[in-house]
Amino acid sequence: MPEGATLFERACRGVRGERTPVWIMRQAGRYLPEYRALREEVDFLTSTKTPEVAARITLQPMERYPLDAAILFADIMTPLEGMGVCVEFAPGPVIAEPVRSVAQARALRALDPHASVPFVLDALRMVRSELAPDRALIAFAGAPFTLFCYMVEGGGSKDFMEARSFLRAEPEAASDLLDLLGTSMAAYLVAQARAGADALMLFDSWVGLLGPDSYRRFALPVLQRTVSRVRAEVDRPIIYFANGGSTLLEAVAEVGADVIGIDWTLPLSSAVKRLGAQAVVQGNLDPAMLFAPRAELSIAIDAVLEEGAAAAAHVFNLGHGIHRTTDPDQIAFLVDRVRERSARLATDTGVPAGA
Ligand code: CP3
């Protein structure tokens, strides 16, 4: 454990503290009026590419709420341009020339983070220097399969059928592309750690489209290699979020991440049973619960905390990103409730929160 590790970093490494740390997926974004105001002057792409603006947006939720971690304002698609793929946002990602042939896949190049995304590294340095020492800074990357989905499909989709059929029609080219994404994202995460990130997260937003056998064949090996490459270079907790991955958990446990993000469809105690009692979990309040009356919201928050007690340690979060129509006051309420309630649970049981 590095000296001066925050409550959040300690939890990521399986050490419970005086309460359960909390942050919110997509905490820097459109539900915040200050984000919408800033975005009236600067478009999304420009805001991700301008370190001062990205740093400002990253810190917006940190100024409003006593969150335990900041997550850099960027997108999982941000580094793809450096691999030779042009990405626009409308507001979801759009790739005008998706990768649909072996020749196109072979023409892509490995990411050089210092050459292609210096603005991300500068933004991390800025945020780390402004953030209080007891709050952690999370940097992230898209997981190889999820990036593959967008690259081949060309944008969002319900079933990513183009991507999934490419996997079957051209398994060798697909595996090469997944590998290139893996080495590129490993380099990206290492560069982000060296620029000041305290923890590293891999978002596998679409991996729930794979069954366990396909996950083991196409997603798991490249994830394992990505995680080992990062570990060989930097010592930072790694969080892996397999959205929709409730059928994949036994395989997810083999990724080698320190923390497993769980979506809201599975109680945390069931997830822990399948991951093993040594698991550290992150999650998993249903983002829709933030639209419930406070009495019900409170019960749901308490239930997530009690479920999280089954794990070696727990990081409180939603089960997926916050919806843009959420009332920001609900987050103030949630963060206070998690802080108070988990501190009380820790004192009552005589062991640190969630142990
Ligand atoms: O606060 C944070 O979490 C940090 C910022 C962040 C963004 N995107 C900013 C963003 C993070 C971590 C992401 C990750 C991301 N981006 C994922 C993985 C997480 C997940 O949700 O599963 C994915 C799949 C994407 C791709 C993406 N980017 C989509 C689908 C969209 C459209 C979202 C929507 O709700 O319409 C984006 C655009 C995007 N990324 C926005 C933000 C704040 C909205 C852009 C705007 O301001 O108009």
Q: How many other β-carbons are positioned within 10 Å of the β-carbon of residue 122?
A: 16
What is the pLDDT at residue 343?
Answer: 97
pLDDT category of residue 27 using cuts at 50, 70 and 90: very high
| Coil vs helix vs strand at 282 | strand
- Per-residue pLDDT, averaged over 7-14, amounts to 98
The predicted structure's pLDDT at residue 1: 81
CA 261 – CA 268 distance, rounded (Å): 10
Segment 135-160 mean pLDDT: 98
pLDDT tens for each residue of 268-321: 999 999 999 999 999 999 999 999 999 999 999 999 999 999 999 999 999 999
For residue 288, CA distances in Å to 180, 245, 284, 295, 320 come to: 36, 19, 11, 14, 10
Burial class (CB in 10 A: 0-12, 13-18, 19+), 40: exposed
Whether the pLDDT of residue 35 is over 70: the answer is: yes
pLDDT at 352: 59
Look up residue 78 and give its two tokens. Answer: 């941000």
* Test site for ligand 1: of 75, 89, 150, 282, most ligand atoms within 8 A of the Cβ: 75
pLDDT digits (tens, 9 = 90+) for 163-218: 999 999 999 999 999 999 999 999 999 999 999 999 999 999 999 999 999 999 99
pLDDT class for 348, splitting at 50, 70, 90? confident
Cα atoms found within 13 Å of the Cα of residue 9, Cβ hemisphere only: 20
30 is an active site residue: yes
pLDDT of residue 302: 98
Residue 349: per-residue pLDDT: 73
Is the peptide bond prior to 284 cis by the omega test (within 30 degrees of 0)? Answer: yes
Longest dimension (CA), the chain: 62
pLDDT bin (cut points 50, 70, 90) of residue 350 is low
Residue indicated by tokens 């990206």? 188
Active site residue 150: yes
pLDDT above 60 (res 354):
no
Please determine, for residue 322, whether its predicted confidence score (pLDDT) is greater than 90.
yes
What DSSP assignment string belongs to 81-128?
Answer: GGGT---EESSSEE-SS---SHHHHHH-----HHHH-HHHHHHHHHHH
pLDDT given for residue 288 in this prediction: 98
Cα separation, 262 vs 157, in Å, equals 22
Q: Quick one: how far is CA 222 from the chain centroid?
A: 17
pLDDT at residue number 3: 81
Cβ neighbours of residue 35 closer than 8 Å, sequence gap 6 or more: 28, 29, 57, 60
Q: Are 127 and 120 in contact (CB under 8 A)?
A: no
Average pLDDT for 6-34: 98
How crowded is the C-beta side of 77, counted as CA atoms within 13 Å? 20
Q: Which of the pair, 201 or 352, is modelled with greater confidence? A: 201
Contact 93 CB / ligand 1 (< 6 Å): yes
- The per-residue pLDDT for 353 is 54
By alpha-carbon position, which residue is closest to atom 3 of ligand 1?
26
Q: How far apart are CA 36 and CA 19, in angstroms?
A: 32
Tokens found for residue 77 = 């698609």
Instruction: Assess whether 217 carries a catalytic annotation.
Output: no
pLDDT of amino acid 4:
86
Q: Catalytic site residue 225?
A: no
Q: Mean pLDDT, to the nearest integer, of 107-134?
A: 98
| 168 assigned to active site | no
pLDDT tens-place string over residues 63-102: 999 999 999 999 999 999 999 999 999 999 999 999 999 9
Q: Is the separation of the CB atoms in 134 and 196 below 8 Å?
A: no
Chain-wide mean pLDDT for the chain?
96
pLDDT band at 351 (very low <50, low <70, confident <90, very high): low
Q: Tell me, using a 6 A CB cutoff, whether residue 261 lines ligand 1.
A: no
Spatial contact of 11 and 313, defined as CB atoms under 8 Å apart: yes
Residue nearest to atom 13 of ligand 1 (CA): 75
- Residue 320 CA to ligand 1 center (angstroms) comes to 11
Beta-bridge partners for 242: 204
Is there an atom of ligand 1 within 6 Å of 92 CB?
yes
Q: Pinpoint the alpha helices (H) of the chain.
A: 7-12, 33-41, 44-49, 51-64, 102-107, 113-116, 118-130, 144-153, 161-169, 171-194, 212-214, 220-233, 249-252, 268-275, 294-308, 328-349
Q: How far apart are CA 213 and CA 140, in angstroms?
A: 26
Give CA 105 to chain center in angstroms. Answer: 26
Give me the pLDDT at residue 26, please: 98
Quick check: 108 pLDDT over 90? yes
Query: Which one is catalytic: 10, 16, 19, 39?
Result: 39
With a 6 Å cutoff on the Cβ, whether 65 touches ligand 1 is no
pTM comes to 0.96
Q: What is the pLDDT of residues 243-269, one digit of tens each?
A: 999 999 999 999 999 999 999 999 999
**Whether the Cβ atoms of residue 73 and residue 57 lie closer than 8 Å to each other:** yes
Residue 256 Ramachandran class (φ > 0 left, ψ -120 to 50 alpha, else beta): left
